């Protein structure tokens, strides 16, 4: 959606490495040895259909000149920047609706958000026809929903994940961070510290999801000015509840809270006990 930062740049760099590596293998296997380098495409589109009725679409940052410069510096081959009118017909009436993974967490408070996400991502896949699409892990629910959409609709694209990029103090990079007051910015890294503490507890043998979740909510609630929206520990693939760490798949803690007017999300995988 634009307002690109170092987190987005890291996705582009991964795409560049993957594209060049894929092209290199194709060239080696080709009898003519003339395979061209792989192409990296970035789409920038502030999608109105993933904004809720209480979310200000007009307030979303759109520094397109800076975004274009970043893409050029990162060796992007094609920047796709369509208008709303070219993406959505005036009588647009078809959307993609995922019915399970999108229900809770961000989907509960942002009704219709993931319909907008699925619809626009499906459209972008149709228009660009990528072999591989790379998404950041910071919005884990979005990643899970897109993976499910691709699987269920048999879309011919491979979804790759890339780890969350953080500030030096641990705060996950986000376009929304620019709206934090200085006071809120100073305490925001405690979100990451709360997640790390749960990871440490799990690695040291704590398997009770109830206890880990209790401690997570306690730490998040202690952040000055924080209003916790959710703090859950779930199976990272199905987003379903778990009772014990290490049973039925990898556990992941998902959190969302507000600091002032800014809504922040983060997540972290929790290791199974040794």
Q: What is the CATH number of the domain that holds 224?
A: 3.30.1300.10
Q: Is residue 155 part of a domain?
A: yes
Q: Is residue 263 pLDDT above 90, yes or no?
A: yes
| Residue 91 shares a structural domain with residue 184 | no
| Residue 156 shares a structural domain with residue 261 | no
| Residue 218 shares a structural domain with residue 145 | no
Residue 233's H or E segment, with its range, is strand 226-235
Instruction: Sort residue 225 into left (φ over 0), alpha (ψ -120 to 50) or beta.
Output: left
- 164 within 8 A of 142, measured Cβ to Cβ: no
Which of 162, 196, 217 lies at the terminal end of a domain, its last residue? 162
Q: What is the CATH number of the domain that holds 122?
A: 3.40.50.620
Q: Is 253 helix (H, G, I), strand (E, B) or coil?
A: strand
Determine the Cα–Cα distance for residues 271 and 38; give it in Å rounded to an integer.
Answer: 35
Question: If DSSP states are collapsed to H, E and C, what string results for 97-113?
Answer: CCCCCCCCCHHHHCCCH
Q: Is 271 helix (H, G, I), strand (E, B) or coil?
A: coil
Tokens of 142: 């979005």
Give the contacts of 126 (CB within 8 A, at least 6 positions apart): none
Owning domain of residue 122: 6-162
| Residue 194 shares a structural domain with residue 129 | no
- 117 within 8 A of 142, measured Cβ to Cβ: yes
CA atoms within 13 A on the CB side of 180: 23
| Residue 39 shares a structural domain with residue 149 | yes
* 113 is an active site residue: no
Q: Is residue 127 part of a domain?
A: yes
In the predicted model, what is the mean pLDDT of the chain? 93
Determine the Cα–Cα distance for residues 89 and 50; give it in Å rounded to an integer.
Answer: 16
pLDDT given for residue 265 in this prediction: 98
Distance of CA 152 to the CA centre of its chain: 20
pTM above 0.75, yes or no: yes
- 173 within 8 A of 206, measured Cβ to Cβ: no
Q: Is residue 31 pLDDT above 60, yes or no?
A: no
Which of 162, 183, 212 lies at the terminal end of a domain, its last residue? 162
| Residue 55 shares a structural domain with residue 155 | yes
Of the listed 5, 8, 81, 92, which one is catalytic?
8
Where b means 16+ CB within 10 Å and e means fewer, 199-210 reads bebbeeebbebe
Q: Is residue 213 pLDDT above 50, yes or no?
A: yes
Determine the Cα–Cα distance for residues 86 and 89; give it in Å rounded to an integer.
Answer: 7
Domain count across the chain: 2
Instruction: Sort residue 245 into left (φ over 0), alpha (ψ -120 to 50) or beta.
Output: beta
| Residue 103 shares a structural domain with residue 19 | yes
Q: Which tens digits make up the pLDDT trace of 152-207?
A: 999 999 999 999 999 999 999 998 999 999 999 999 999 999 999 999 999 999 99
| Residue 158 shares a structural domain with residue 228 | no
Name which of 47-56, 73-82, 101-110 the model is least confident about. 47-56
Give CA torsion, residues 264, 269, 273, 274, to 10 deg: -130
Which of 97, 131, 162 lies at the terminal end of a domain, its last residue? 162
Tokens of 58: 């007009």
Q: Which residue has the higher pLDDT, 53 or 127?
A: 127
Determine the Cα–Cα distance for residues 115 and 47; give it in Å rounded to an integer.
Answer: 11
| Residue 18 shares a structural domain with residue 126 | yes
Q: Is residue 128 part of a domain?
A: yes
């Amino acid at each position: 959606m634009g307002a690109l930062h170092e987190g987005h740049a890291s996705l582009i760099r991964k795409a560049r490495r993957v594209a060049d590596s894929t092209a290199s293998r194709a060239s080696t296997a080709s009898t003519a040895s003339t395979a061209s380098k792989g192409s990296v495409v970035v789409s920038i589109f502030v999608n109105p259909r993933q904004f809720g009725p209480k979310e200000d679409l007009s307030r979303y940052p759109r520094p397109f000149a800076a975004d274009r410069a970043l893409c050029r510096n990162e060796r992007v081959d094609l920047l796709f920047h369509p208008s709303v009118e070219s993406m959505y017909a005036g009588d647009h009436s078809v959307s993609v609706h995922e019915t399970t993974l999108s229900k809770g967490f961000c989907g509960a408070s942002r009704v219709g958000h993931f319909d907008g996400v699925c619809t626009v991502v499906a459209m972008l896949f149709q228009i660009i026809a990528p072999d591989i699409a790379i998404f950041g892990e910071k919005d884990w629910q979005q990643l899970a929903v897109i993976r499910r959409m691709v699987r269920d609709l048999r879309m011919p694209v491979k979804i790759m994940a890339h780890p969350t990029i953080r500030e030096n103090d641990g705060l996950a990079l986000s376009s929304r961070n620019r709206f934090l007051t200085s006071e809120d910015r100073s305490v925001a890294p405690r979100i990451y510290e709360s997640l790390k503490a749960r990871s440490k507890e799990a690695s040291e043998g704590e398997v009770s999801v109830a206890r880990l979740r209790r401690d997570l909510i306690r730490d998040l609630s202690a952040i000055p000015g924080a209003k916790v929206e959710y703090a859950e520990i779930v199976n990272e693939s199905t987003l379903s509840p778990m009772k014990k760490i290490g049973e039925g798949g990898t556990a992941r803690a998902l959190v969302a809270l507000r600091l002032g007017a800014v809504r922040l999300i983060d997540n972290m995988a929790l290791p199974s006990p040794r």
